[in-house]
C-alpha cells in the first residue's frame, strides 16, 4: 500500500509564548497537534467540522477553529490557547474570574473556546452590549448553560477589564 | 450561630481547573505506547453480511489488528438487556460487532487497532464487506401493520412491548362527558448531543494487576461490574473512572459496544487503547430519543374539569431495546402531570425500526407527556372559551391532597405517588411574574394592532426525580483537617463536587473548601448505579448527609469522652467541637481525627501526644481509628418536582421565522442546596427544550439514512436563539428524604415543546391552525400562514 498522507514537514510555532519546533505529518490537524503532540489538552474538540467552536484558539490574535486548520498551516505563526490565558499560576484572567463568579460553565467542554473567542472580542469591544456578546459567541455551541450565564460572565469580564 | 452553607449560591469547586484548561476529559488522556481504534460502521440500515475481507486492512502501515465478530472472544455474547420489564415481551439486543446482520446505519461491524487514529481510519477504508440488503423499516406506523417487513425476523413482530395502564373507569368517564376532544400529537426524533462525544481509554496495569478504564459514562460502577463479569475478573481487578465528562444528557448511560471492545483490546493486546467517537459516529452510534405518535382524547365536564383521558401511542424504540421501555413508561405515568385525572387509559406499543436505538435523553419521555397533556388542556380551554390558565387552575391537584397517587406503577417499580407540591401557587407565581392579565388584555392586543404576529403560552409539568434503587457515600475526617467524601456517582457538569461538599460542610460546620469530593471512580466507591433521572442531589445527596451526620455523632461522642462532658453540652461550630460557653475547651475536627487513631504518623497532627495508662487494647473492640461513616440512602419512591413556564413568541409571517421574545419559569425542586446551580440546570434544560421545539430534529429517509448527521444540518440553538430566561423558585420540601430536596436536572426540557406549541398557536389564531407536531420549523410555520400556497 502507498502510505497516504504520511509526508512529514518540520514546523515552528509559538504557542502561549513558548517556541516549538516539531516534525508533523502533513495531514495532522492543528487541534490534534496542540492536544496530542504538545499536550495542551485544554483546547477541546467537539465536532471536527468547524461548527461547535470548542476548539477555538487565537491564531496571530484572531480566533480560528483549530479543527479546520492543519498543523503545517501554523508554521511561523503565533497561537494562544486557554492554557496561556491566566497571567500566572496564582491568578486568573478577568474572563476566567467572571465565568467562575457568574456560573458561566457547567461541564466545561465548550468553555475554552468561549474564553478564547471572548478574549479577542473584548479586546476590540471593551464596552459591549448583551446583543453584541450573543452575536460574538454565536459560533460557539454550549449544551449545558443556555448561554445566559455566559453572557452575564462576558458582561462582567468586560467591566473588570475596563476597571483594570 | 452555625454558618449556613446549605442553600447558598457558593461558587463551584470544579471551575478553576476547567477554566484554565486543566480539566481531564477522557480524550485528554494519552498513555505511553497507546494504540488507537477506528470502527467500520454499517452504511446500510438493514442488511445481512455475506462476507468481510479485512486482509488489505491488516496489511496497512501501522495496523496492529483488525477484528470482526469472530475475533472478539468474550465480547461475542449479546449486549446486555439493562432494564427488563414484564411487558417487554420481545426484547432484542445487539452484538458488540455485527455477527451476520446489521440493523441501523452506524452499527459497528469491524474494529481497526493501529498506531494512530489517522492510520486506523485509513485501514477502515480498506475493509471490504459484501452486503445483502434487506428491506429497511423506518416508519413506525407502517412497522405495526401486519404485512410490514420485520426488523428482527426471528421475533415475528416489530412490536417489542405492548403496555396498558388503566386508572378508574375511563369508558364510563367518556360516556358521561359533556365534551370529548381528540388530538393526534407527534413529537419527533432528537438526541442529547453533548459537545464532548463518547471516548474510552483502557490499559491493563501489569504492576497492580488491574484493568484500568477511563470512560465518558454516566455510570462507571455499572460498566465496572459488566467488564468484570464479562472478562472473568474480580470486580476489584477492574477500575472504571468517569473523569471530567463534557455533558451527558442521558445518552452516556448504557453499556455500548465500544465500552466492552476497547477494554477487551487492552486485555488482549496488553497495550493502552484509546477510542474517541467523532461527531458523525456520535450521530449514528450513540442513542437517540423522542419519536412518539399519540392518539389522545380528553373527556371534560361542562366547566372544563377533566373526567378522563385516553391515550394510545406508538413509541419508536429504534433497532434494539438495551434500555428496555423506560422512556414510554415514563411518558405513560407522567402524562397526567399536575392535574387530577380520575379515569385514565394509557396504552403504548414500543416499535422496532432500523434506526439508532432509543434510550433516555434529558426529559426521558416527559416532554412527550407534557406536550400531550398541555395540548389537550389548551384545546379544552379554546373550545369552551376559557382562559388557558383558568382551565389549569380548575384541574390542579390541591396542596392538601398530597401524597397523591396517580394510580400507575412508575419506572422504578414503585407507585407513581406525588409526595408534595403546590401547583396552584406555582401557577399564580408564574402569572404574577408574567404580569399575565396585563400581557393578555393590553400588551398582546396592542402588538397585534401594530400588525405583529405575537402569542403567549403557558405550560405546567411535574417531574418524577430521585428514583432508587439507592446510592451511597463515605465521609471521613482526615487528621490533616480535610474532609474526604466518596460517592459512586459521576458528573457531567452538575457541580457534585460543590453541592455534596456543601451538605457535608453544613453538617460538620467546616469550610466548604476543606471538603473534597471524589466521584465517578470505582476505586473510591463501589456500590450504586449512576447519574441519571435527576437523582444525584436526592439520592446521593441524602446518602452524603446521612454519612456526614454519623461522622458528626462520632466526633461529638469522642469529644465528650475526651472532655468528660455530656454530648448535649457540646456545640459544633467554626470547624470545631467545644463546650457550650467555653470555646477554649474543645477540638478542631482535625484534632478529633487524630484522637480517634491511637497511631501518630510523621508530620500529621498538631495534638501534643499524651501518654495514657494501659487499659487494654489500644483500639478497643467496636472502635475504629477514624471518624468515618459509609451510609446508603434508598428512597421509598420518586420525589416529584414541578414547574410552570410562560412564553411570548413572535412569528415573522414573511419568513416563517420564530422569535422567543420573553420566557418566564417557576421551578420547584424542594429545598435548594445551591440556587445558582439549580438555576443553571433550569437554564440548560430550557435551552435544550427550545432546541427540541424549533431547531433539532433527526431526519431519516425511507432507506434509514440519517440525512442531517452534522452540526451544519442538525441545528443546536446558539446564544442568538436562546432568549433571556426569568427564573423564580418555589420551595415545597420533599417529606421523603433527609434533605427535603427534589431533582432538577431534566426540569427545563420538559415543558418546552408544550409551551412553544401553545404560544405559536396563540400567535397564529388568525390563521386557525392547531399545533400538533414538534419540533416546528420555519417551513411549517410559513405553510401554516400561507395555506393557499402549494
Q: Is the pLDDT of residue B172 over 60?
A: yes
Q: What is the pLDDT of residue B412?
A: 85
**3-state per-residue secondary structure call for B219-240:** CHHHHHHHHHHHHCCCHHHEEE
Confidence of residue B607 (pLDDT cuts 50, 70, 90): confident
Question: Is A6 at the interface with chain B, CB within 8 A?
Answer: yes
Name the residue among A44, A49, A140 with its Cβ closest to that of B710: A49
Task: Kindly give the pairing relationship between strand B725-729 and strand B657-668.
Answer: parallel
Domain A94-163 CATH (choose: 3.30.420.40, 1.10.150.120, 1.10.1740.10, 3.20.20.140): 1.10.150.120
Q: What is the pLDDT of residue A4?
A: 52
As its CATH architecture, domain A8-84 has Roll (3.10)
In the numeric block, which cell numbers belong to residue B446? 396592542
Residue in chain A lying closest to B61 (CA): A3
- Rounded to 5 degrees, φ, ψ at B558 are -65, -45
- B-chain CB neighbours of A150 within 8 Å are 719
CB B256 within 8 A of CB B323: no
Domains of chain B: 31-134+196-246+252-285 (3.90.1170.50), 366-465+637-784 (3.30.365.10), 468-633 (3.30.365.10)
Kindly report whether the global pTM for this prediction surpasses the value 0.95: yes
Residue A5 is predicted with a pLDDT of 56
Best B719, B724, B744, B749 member to test A by mutation, with max A CBs in 10 Å, is: B719
Sign of the CA dihedral running B361, B774, A138, B279: positive
Residue among B26, B195, B687, B708 with most chain A CBs within 10 A, to mutate: B195
Contacts of B710 in chain A (CB under 8 A): 47, 49, 51
Average pLDDT over residues B662-689: 97
Contact list, A49 vs chain B (CB under 8 Å): 279, 710-712
> Is ipTM strictly over 0.85?
yes
Interchain CB distance below 8 Å, A47 and B27: no
- Residue A3: the pLDDT is 52
CB contact under 8 A, B712 and A147: no
Give yes or no for residue A131 having a pLDDT over 90: yes
Average pLDDT for residues B728-742, to the nearest whole number?
Answer: 97
Predicted pLDDT of residue B239? 98
In contact, B466 and B420? CB cutoff 8 Å: no
- B195 at the A interface (CB within 8 A)? yes
Could you tell me which residues are beta bridge partners of residue B274? B36, B201
- Neighboring chain A residues of B21 at a CB cutoff of 8 Å: 40-43, 81-83, 85, 112
User: Which of A58-62, B169-173, B466-470, B484-488 is predicted least confidently?
Assistant: B466-470
Cα(B517)–Cα(B499) distance, rounded to whole angstroms? Answer: 10
| pLDDT reported for residue B413 | 87
In chain B, positions 477-516, which contact chain A (CB-CB < 8 Å)? 492-495
Distance from CA of A10 to the nearest CA of B (A): 19
Sheet hosting strand B108-114, strand order edge to edge: B63-67, B108-114, B35-41, B273-276, B199-205, B210-215, B238-241
pLDDT at B314 over 90: yes
Nearest Cβ partner for A48 among B61, B279, B685: B279
Integer Cα distance of B249 and B511 in angstroms:
31
CA nearest to B674 within chain A: A103
Kindly report the nearest CA distance between residue A12 and chain B, in angstroms.
Answer: 22
Work out whether the CA dihedral B703, B708, B710, B712 comes out positive or negative: positive
Average pLDDT across chain B, whole number: 96
Contacts of B56 in chain A (CB under 8 A): 1
% of chain B surpassing 70 pLDDT: 99
Of the residues B11, B13, B18, the best mutation for testing chain A's interface (the one with the most A CB atoms within 10 Å of its CB) is B18
Contact B194 A146 (CB under 8 A): no
pLDDT at A145 over 50: yes
**CA B585 to chain CA mean position, Å:** 48
Q: Is residue B194 within 8 Å of residue B317, measured between CB atoms? A: no
Q: Considering chain A, what percentage of its residues have pLDDT values greater than 90?
A: 95
Residue of A nearest to B196 (CA): A46
Give the nearest partner residue to A47 out of B56, B245, B711, using CB atoms.
B711
Residues 6+ apart with CB under 8 A from A144: A105, A106, A107, A110, B247, B493, B680, B684
Q: Is A5 on the interface with B (CB under 8 A)?
A: yes
User: Is the CB of residue B247 less than 8 Å away from at least one CB of chain A?
Assistant: yes
> What mean pLDDT do residues A117-138 have?
98
Among residues 327-366 of chain B, which lie with CB inside 8 Å of chain A? none
* A24: Cα within 13 Å, side-chain hemisphere: 25
**Residue B245 contacts A, CB cutoff 8 Å:** yes
Give me the phi and psi of B462, to 5 degrees please: -120, 160
Residues in a beta bridge with B633: B471
pLDDT digits (tens, 9 = 90+) for A67-82: 999 999 999 999 999 9
A:B CB pairs within 8 Å? 179
Distance from CA of A72 to the nearest CA of B (A): 16
Q: Which of B8, B12, B19 to mutate to test the interface with A (most CBs of A within 10 A)?
A: B19
CA distance B410 to chain A (A): 27
pLDDT at B1 over 80: no
Contact, B237 vs B228, CB < 8 A? yes
B581: helix, coil or strand? Answer: coil
Q: Is A105 on the interface with B (CB under 8 A)?
A: yes
Of the candidates A6, A141, A148, which has its C-beta nearest B716's C-beta? Answer: A141
Q: Do B680 and A145 touch (CB under 8 A)?
A: yes
Query: Do the Cβ atoms of A147 and B495 come within 8 Å?
Result: no
Nearest CA in chain B to A28: B118
CA distances from B277 to A71, B196, B281, B767 (A): 21, 9, 6, 46
Write out chain A residues lying below 8 Å of B716, CB-based. Answer: 52, 141, 143
Looking only at the bridges linking them, the beta strands covering B471-477 and B483-487 are antiparallel
What are the domain boundaries of chain A? Answer: 8-84, 94-163
Tell me which residue in B686, B688, B720 faces A135 most closely, judged by beta carbons. B720
Mutate to test the interface with A, among B13, B20, B56, B673 (most CBs of A within 10 A): B20
Contact between B279 and A49 using a beta-carbon 8 Å cutoff: yes
The model's pLDDT over A99-119, given as tens digits with 9 standing for 90+, comes to 999 999 999 999 999 999 999
B471-477 sheet: strands from edge to edge: B515-518, B483-487, B471-477, B627-633
CA B367 – CA B185 distance, rounded (Å): 12
Query: Can you state the percent helix, strand and coil of chain B, rounding each to 5?
Result: 30, 25, 40
| A 38-97 → B contacts, CB under 8 A | 39-49, 51-52, 54, 81-83, 85-86, 92, 96
Hey, which residues 110-139 in chain A have their CB within 8 Å of chain B?
A: 110-112, 115, 133-135, 137-139
Task: Give the span between the Cα atoms of B706 and B703, in whole angstroms.
Answer: 9
Helix (H) or strand (E) segment spanning residue B461? strand B453-465
| Nearest chain A residue (CA) to B248 | A107
Q: Are B74 and B264 a contacting pair, CB within 8 Å?
A: yes
In this prediction, residue B410 has a pLDDT band, given cuts at 50, 70 and 90, of confident
State percent of chain B over pLDDT 90.
95
pLDDT tens by residue, B89-126:
999 999 999 999 999 999 999 999 999 999 999 999 99
Q: What is the pLDDT of residue A2?
A: 44
Pick A108's closest partner by Cβ from B18, B710, B725.
B18
Query: What is the 8-class DSSP label of residue A40?
Result: -
Enumerate the residues of chain A whose CB falls inside 8 A of the CB of residue B680. Answer: 103, 106, 144-145, 149
Amino acid at each position: 500500500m502507498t502510505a497516504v498522507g504520511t509526508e512529514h514537514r518540520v514546523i515552528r510555532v509559538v504557542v502561549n509564548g513558548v517556541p516549538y519546533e516539531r516534525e508533523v505529518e502533513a495531514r495532522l490537524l492543528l487541534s490534534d497537534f496542540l492536544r496530542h503532540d504538545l499536550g495542551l489538552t485544554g483546547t477541546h474538540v467537539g465536532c471536527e467540522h468547524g461548527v461547535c467552536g470548542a476548539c477555538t484558539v487565537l491564531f496571530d490574535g484572531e480566533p480560528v477553529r483549530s479543527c479546520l486548520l492543519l498543523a503545517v498551516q501554523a508554521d511561523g505563526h503565533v497561537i494562544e490557547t486557554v492554557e496561556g490565558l491566566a497571567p500566572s499560576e496564582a491568578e486568573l484572567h478577568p474572563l476566567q474570574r467572571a465565568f467562575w463568579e457568574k456560573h458561566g460553565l457547567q461541564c466545561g467542554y465548550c468553555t475554552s473556546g468561549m474564553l478564547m473567542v471572548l478574549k479577542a472580542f473584548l479586546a476590540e469591544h471593551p464596552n459591549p452590549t448583551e446583543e453584541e456578546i450573543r452575536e460574538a459567541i454565536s459560533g460557539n455551541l454550549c449544551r449545558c448553560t443556555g448561554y445566559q450565564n455566559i453572557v452575564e460572565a462576558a458582561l462582567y469580564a468586560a467591566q473588570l477589564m475596563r476597571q483594570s | 450561630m452555625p454558618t449556613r452553607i446549605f442553600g447558598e449560591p457558593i461558587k463551584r469547586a470544579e471551575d478553576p481547573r476547567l477554566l484554565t484548561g486543566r480539566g481531564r476529559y477522557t480524550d485528554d488522556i494519552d498513555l505511553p505506547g497507546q494504540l488507537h481504534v477506528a470502527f467500520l460502521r454499517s452504511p446500510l440500515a438493514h442488511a445481512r453480511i455475506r462476507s468481510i475481507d479485512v486482509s488489505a486492512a491488516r496489511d496497512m502501515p501501522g495496523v496492529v489488528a483488525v477484528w470482526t465478530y469472530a475475533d472478539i472472544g468474550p465480547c461475542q455474547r449479546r449486549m446486555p438487556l439493562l432494564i427488563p420489564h414484564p411487558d417487554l415481551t420481545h426484547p432484542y439486543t445487539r452484538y458488540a460487532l455485527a455477527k451476520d446482520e446489521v440493523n441501523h446505519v452506524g452499527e459497528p461491524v469491524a474494529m481497526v487497532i493501529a498506531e494512530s487514529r489517522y492510520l486506523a481510519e485509513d485501514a477502515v477504508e480498506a475493509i471490504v464487506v459484501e452486503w445483502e440488503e434487506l428491506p429497511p423499516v423506518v416508519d413506525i406506523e407502517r412497522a405495526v401493520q401486519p404485512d410490514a417487513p420485520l426488523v428482527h425476523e426471528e421475533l415475528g413482530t416489530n412490536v417489542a412491548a405492548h403496555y396498558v395502564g388503566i386508572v378508574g373507569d375511563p369508558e364510563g368517564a367518556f360516556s358521561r362527558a359533556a365534551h370529548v376532544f381528540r388530538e393526534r400529537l407527534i413529537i419527533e426524533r432528537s438526541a442529547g448531543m453533548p459537545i464532548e462525544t463518547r471516548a474510552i481509554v483502557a490499559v491493563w496495569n501489569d504492576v497492580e494487576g488491574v484493568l484500568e478504564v477511563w470512560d465518558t459514562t454516566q455510570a462507571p460502577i455499572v460498566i465496572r461490574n459488566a467488564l468484570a463479569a464479562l472478562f472473568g475478573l474480580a470486580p476489584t481487578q477492574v477500575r472504571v473512572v468517569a473523569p471530567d465528562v463534557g455533558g451527558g444528557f442521558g445518552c452516556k448511560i448504557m453499556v455500548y459496544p465500544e465500552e466492552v471492545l476497547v477494554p477487551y483490546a487492552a486485555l488482549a493486546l496488553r497495550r493502552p487503547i484509546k477510542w474517541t467517537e467523532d461527531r458523525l459516529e456520535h450521530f449514528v452510534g450513540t442513542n437517540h430519543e423522542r419519536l412518539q405518535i399519540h392518539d389522545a382524547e380528553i373527556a371534560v365536564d361542562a366547566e372544563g374539569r377533566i373526567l378522563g383521558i385516553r391515550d394510545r401511542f406508538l413509541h419508536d424504540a429504534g433497532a434494539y431495546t438495551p434500555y428496555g421501555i423506560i422512556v414510554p413508561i415514563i411518558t405513560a405515568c407522567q402524562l397526567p402531570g399536575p392535574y387530577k385525572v380520575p379515569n385514565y387509559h394509557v396504552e403504548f406499543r414500543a416499535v422496532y425500526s432500523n434506526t439508532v436505538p432509543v434510550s433516555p435523553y434529558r426529559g426521558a419521555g416527559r416532554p412527550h407527556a407534557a406536550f400531550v397533556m398541555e395540548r389537550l388542556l389548551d384545546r379544552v380551554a379554546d373550545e369552551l372559551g376559557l382562559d388557558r390558565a383558568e382551565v389549569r387552575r380548575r384541574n390542579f391537584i390541591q396542596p392538601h391532597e398530597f401524597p397523591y397517587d396517580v394510580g400507575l406503577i412508575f419506572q422504578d417499580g414503585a407507585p407513581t405517588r406525588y409526595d408534595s407540591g403546590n401547583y396552584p401557587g406555582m401557577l399564580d407565581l408564574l402569572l404574577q411574574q408574567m404580569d399575565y392579565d396585563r400581557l393578555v388584555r393590553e400588551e398582546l392586543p396592542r402588538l397585534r394592532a401594530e400588525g405583529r404576529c405575537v402569542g403567549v403560552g403557558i405550560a405546567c409539568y411535574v417531574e418524577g426525580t430521585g428514583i432508587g434503587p439507592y446510592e451511597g457515600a463515605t465521609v471521613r475526617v482526615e487528621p490533616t483537617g480535610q474532609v474526604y467524601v466518596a460517592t459512586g456517582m459521576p458528573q457531567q457538569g452538575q457541580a457534585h463536587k460543590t453541592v455534596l461538599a456543601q451538605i457535608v460542610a453544613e453538617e460538620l460546620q467546616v469550610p466548604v473548601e476543606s471538603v473534597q469530593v471524589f466521584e465517578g471512580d470505582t476505586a473510591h466507591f463501589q456500590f450504586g448505579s449512576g447519574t441519571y433521572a435527576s437523582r444525584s442531589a436526592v439520592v446521593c445527596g441524602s446518602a452524603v448527609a446521612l454519612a456526614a451526620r454519623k461522622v458528626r455523632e462520632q466526633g461529638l461522642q469522642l469529644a465528650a469522652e475526651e472532655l468528660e462532658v455530656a454530648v448535649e453540652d457540646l456545640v459544633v461550630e467554626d470547624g470545631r467541637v467545644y463546650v457550650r460557653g467555653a470555646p477554649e475547651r474543645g477540638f478542631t475536627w482535625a484534632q478529633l481525627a487524630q484522637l480517634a487513631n491511637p497511631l501518630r504518623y510523621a508530620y500529621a497532627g498538631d495534638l501534643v501526644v499524651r501518654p495514657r495508662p494501659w487499659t487494654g487494647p489500644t483500639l478497643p473492640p467496636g472502635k475504629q481509628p477514624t471518624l468515618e461513616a459509609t451510609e446508603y440512602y434508598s428512597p421509598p419512591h420518586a420525589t416529584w418536582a414541578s414547574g410552570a413556564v410562560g412564553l411570548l413568541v413572535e412569528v415573522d409571517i414573511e419568513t416563517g421565522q420564530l422569535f422567543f421574545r420573553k420566557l418566564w419559569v417557576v421551578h420547584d425542586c424542594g429545598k435548594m442546596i445551591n440556587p445558582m446551580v439549580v438555576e443553571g440546570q433550569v437554564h440548560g434544560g430550557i435551552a435544550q427544550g427550545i432546541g427540541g421545539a424549533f431547531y433539532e430534529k433527526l431526519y431519516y429517509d425511507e432507506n434509514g439514512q440519517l440525512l442531517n448527521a452534522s452540526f451544519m444540518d442538525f441545528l443546536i440553538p446558539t446564544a442568538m436563539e436562546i432568549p433571556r430566561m426569568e427564573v423564580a423558585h418555589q420551595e415545597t420540601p420533599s417529606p421523603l428524604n433527609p434533605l427535603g430536596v427534589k431533582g432538577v436536572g431534566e426540569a427545563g426540557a420538559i415543558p418546552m415543546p408544550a409551551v412553544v406549541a401553545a404560544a405559536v398557536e396563540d400567535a397564529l389564531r388568525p390563521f386557525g391552525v392547531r399545533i400538533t407536531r414538534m419540533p416546528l420549523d420555519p417551513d411549517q410555520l410559513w405553510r401554516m400562514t400561507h395555506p393557499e400556497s402549494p
